[in-house]
């Protein structure tokens, strides 16, 4: 069977990303990264996206409780060699992926959608369908 070229190669990038996410979350939970930029602030790893070749990992993070993500990203950038070493110890891969840290935009997007749903025009439309912005929609049964 011929191999696919380009794009994701099935579930493997997802599974490897999840394995890396678990290791990184454990490292942050145990407080193994000692950097003044983190200031003792817990970090949440929301997702790790791998490329198809498993050479590059984009790590999406949020400081627990919100706040300015800039200093946290800078601290994680400084800790990148340490984190790659910990990943190499914990996950058996041919190559340890290069890590790129990014702020997770999904929570901001969810807050934006929530604010849109609470606007008067949308609230009026939701009430007209038997629902309201704070409740589940009904199917009419």
- Per residue in 64-119, pLDDT (tens digit) is 766 678 888 888 899 899 999 999 999 998 899 999 999 877 655 556 566 666 67
- Cα–Cα distances (Å) from 38 to 12, 34, 49, 85, 97, in that order, read 32, 8, 23, 19, 23
Q: What is the pLDDT of residue 84?
A: 93
68: its two tokens:
């300015």
- Cα–Cα distances (Å) from 24 to 20, 42, 46, 110, in that order, read 6, 12, 10, 24
List, in order of start, the domains of the chain with CATH numbers. Answer: 12-105 (3.30.300.20)
The pLDDT tens digits for 10-37 are 799 999 999 999 999 998 888 888 877 7
Q: What is the pLDDT of residue 63?
A: 81
Q: What is the pLDDT of residue 28?
A: 86
Say what angle helices 12-29 and 80-90 make with each other, to 10 degrees: 120
Q: What is the pLDDT of residue 13?
A: 92
Residue 6 pLDDT greater than 50, yes or no: no
The pLDDT tens digits for 30-78 are 888 887 777 667 888 889 999 999 999 999 988 876 667 888 888 889 9
Q: What is the pLDDT of residue 4?
A: 46
């Amino acid at each position: 069977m011929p191999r696919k070229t380009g794009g994701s190669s099935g579930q493997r990038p997802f599974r490897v990303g999840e394995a890396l996410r678990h290791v990184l979350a454990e490292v942050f939970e145990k407080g193994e990264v000692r950097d003044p930029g983190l200031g003792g602030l817990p970090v949440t790893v929301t997702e790790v996206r791998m490329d198809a070749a498993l050479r590059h990992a984009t790590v999406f993070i949020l400081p627990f409780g919100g706040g300015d993500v800039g200093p946290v990203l800078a601290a994680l950038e400084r800790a990148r060699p340490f984190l790659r070493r910990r990943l190499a110890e914990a996950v058996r891969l041919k190559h340890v992926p290069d890590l790129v840290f990014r702020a997770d935009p999904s929570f901001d997007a969810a807050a934006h959608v929530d604010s849109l749903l609470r606007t008067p025009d949308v609230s009026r439309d939701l009430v007209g369908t038997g629902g309201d912005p704070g409740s589940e929609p009904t199917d009419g049964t």
